[in-house]
Amino acid sequence: MQGATAAASAAASEGARLILGPLRADQVTAVGAVARSSGIPVIGFSNNPTAAGPGVYLLSVLPDMEMKRSLNWIKTQGRRGIAGIFPATDFGQAQEAAFRQQAAIASFAPSAVYTFSSSGEAQQIVNQALPQIQNGMIDTIFIPDRATAPSFGVLLAQAGVKPGAVQIVGSADWEGDPAIANAPQLAGAIYPAVDPAGMAAIGADYQRQFGGAPHALATIAYTATILANVNTLSMANPPYNPALMSSATGFNGRDGAFRFLVNGRAEYALVLKRIAPGGAQVLEGAKL
């Protein structure tokens, strides 16, 4: 964090009007503290909503929007018995908080919420959930943690939960993970993601320029650069002021339509994808 603080101080002393980055939540928080005292807005790339705040905008897909998008679709499917499984980490707590909040907004009352400190607790969680699955009290389980989702899928199958009996819901973090895509026990699972059209649009140019495939976060960097050069933002008085940054009309970036809220968090128009043989397929187009 010391490096992030020093870099932000240097940028402020050199007359920066906007800071792009950094990536980690603690770094964004550190940079934000320096930038705020200098009246400089920040567009950070963390996906932990706790790093957002007035003048500190997060240009990432955040748990709130992921949960909102998935829960609204679940509701249209007539499913009501939702449960969630979250790691006992800072980000896991943010996911759990978003799950509870968005469930309440969508008029859901979660049947159960489980947390775990290690993958060794997965079997115990499945054992606890199984009676409610069998009696129909749980028909949907949110498992946003990419690292442990395949293990939970295996344990649910071993417990006799038949495919389709429970709808598994993941997170945008699932995108591009071969362990997720190739896990047969996760076939039929859904997860929210940014519109893949943006990455497809830059792929060929990126390959020509840099000789490789773009990083998964490349589209965020592209969008941040576009925002920094929007005349209505950069030439405003003051530049990048909160009223313009949090305009309800939003912006159109490489990952599609999005908008910043006054609390610094972003809302994206997300697609829903479904795990299927041969790779994830778009189930439903982009929606806020």
Looking at the predicted structure, is the pLDDT value of residue 278 above 90? no
Are 67 and 164 part of one and the same domain? yes
Are 135 and 188 part of one and the same domain? yes
Are 133 and 152 part of one and the same domain? yes
Residue with tokens 């429970």, as numbered in its chain:
166
Share of the chain above pLDDT 70, in %: 100
pLDDT of residue 119: 86
Q: Tell me: the pLDDT tens digits for 85-136? A: 999 999 999 999 999 999 999 999 999 999 999 988 999 999 999 999 999 9
pLDDT of residue 84: 98
Are 103 and 185 part of one and the same domain? yes
Q: Tell me: the pLDDT tens digits for 50-76? A: 999 999 999 999 999 999 999 999 999
Are 178 and 275 part of one and the same domain? yes
Are 264 and 275 part of one and the same domain? no
Are 78 and 182 part of one and the same domain? yes
> What's the CATH number where 43 sits?
3.40.50.2300
Sheet holding 281-287, edge to edge: 112-116, 82-87, 140-142, 167-169, 190-194, 270-274, 281-287
Are 83 and 185 part of one and the same domain? yes
The rounded Cα 183 to chain-centroid distance in angstroms is 21
Are 183 and 73 part of one and the same domain? yes
Q: Is the separation of the CB atoms in 239 and 17 below 8 Å?
A: yes
Whether the bond into 22 is cis, omega within 30 of 0: yes
Cα-Cα-Cα-Cα torsion 62, 68, 71, 72, nearest 10 degrees, comes to: -140
pLDDT of residue 3: 85
Rounded distance, CA 219 to CA 192, Å?
Answer: 17
Under the banding of pLDDT at 50, 70 and 90, the label for residue 279 is confident
Looking at the predicted structure, is the pLDDT value of residue 269 above 90? yes
Rounded distance, CA 178 to CA 100, Å?
Answer: 29
The rounded Cα 107 to chain-centroid distance in angstroms is 22
CB-count exposure of residue 243 (10 Å: 0-12, 13-18, 19+): exposed
Rounded distance, CA 82 to CA 74, Å?
Answer: 9
Q: Where in the sequence is the domain holding 117, given as residue range(s)?
A: 63-195+271-287
Are 116 and 158 part of one and the same domain? yes
Are 262 and 204 part of one and the same domain? yes
Pairing of strands 42-44, 56-58: parallel
Any residues with CB less than 8 A from the CB of 249 and at least 6 apart, and which?
Answer: 259
Are 143 and 126 part of one and the same domain? yes
Domain count, the chain: 2
Rounded distance, CA 264 to CA 282, Å?
Answer: 29
Looking at the predicted structure, is the pLDDT value of residue 1 above 80? no
∠ Cα 59 63 65 (to 5°):
75
Under the banding of pLDDT at 50, 70 and 90, the label for residue 144 is very high
pTM: 0.92
Phi, psi (rounded to 5 degrees) for 87: -70, 150
pLDDT of residue 280: 92
Rounded distance, CA 175 to CA 210, Å?
Answer: 23
Q: Is the separation of the CB atoms in 129 and 138 below 8 Å?
A: yes
Instruction: Choose among 122, 37, 139, 29: nearest CA to 81.
Output: 139
Phi, psi (rounded to 5 degrees) for 256: 100, -165
